Amino acid sequence: MMDKHIIRITSYLSTIAIITLGILYYVLHHAPVNALSSSTDLTTYFSYSPGEIQALEQLNSEKVMTEAEVDQWTQIVFELVKENRSKDDATRLYAYFFAAQRDAAALSYQIKKKLSGSLSTVSQKTLCLLLPNTCASLHASEKTDAYSLKIAQKKWQKLSLTKFANDLKPKKKPWTR
């Protein structure tokens, strides 16, 4: 009986991972940056005020978001979830994490017309919000710049104000104090 349960959960999580990776693959490989310039499909999930946009327009970054960063942080988030979360929370956590990455890329592209900035900064800050107990173990692989940090802060602010961030926080058991 336990074997069927394990197989079903593993199958379910594998399906989610494959779908998530498929979407990322499609975005990175089938929508090259030069094709994006004529498209209006790259919109942000969250809305941003003109003041928030203007603050980002004034900053620059020599860094560019890369496929290698996506791969690196995909592996990191899968490992962290495997070590720290129940299967029930994993699906939501993946969705919010990858939505934050995608939103950062879309926002950056809207402002700079390229995938400017470091996805590592956004990924690290997002994981610190969603998995606060693992924050100390997340080390940025590179020095961040003001533009990447500002985008990460905007993502953190938007995510922390949403219901899902509260849903993922550890809950007290009713019988504990």
At 84-133, the pLDDT tens digits run 765 557 888 888 888 889 989 999 998 898 888 988 888 988 888 888 88
The predicted model gives 133-155 an average pLDDT of 79
* Least confident window among 47-51, 63-67, 73-77, 143-147: 143-147
The predicted model gives 137-147 an average pLDDT of 75
The chain-wide mean pLDDT, for the chain, equals 77
Burial of 75 per CB tally in 10 Å (0-12, 13-18, 19+): exposed
At residue 39, the pLDDT reads 47
β-sheet bridge partners, residue 116: 64
At residue 46, the pLDDT reads 81
Q: Of residues 32 and 167, which shows the higher confidence score?
A: 167
- The secondary structure of residue 133, as a DSSP letter, is G
At residue 177, the pLDDT reads 45
The predicted model gives 4-26 an average pLDDT of 74
Contact between 177 and 154 under an 8 Å Cβ cutoff? The reply is: no
At residue 169, the pLDDT reads 53
Residues near 161 by Cβ (< 8 Å), separated by ≥ 6?
A: none
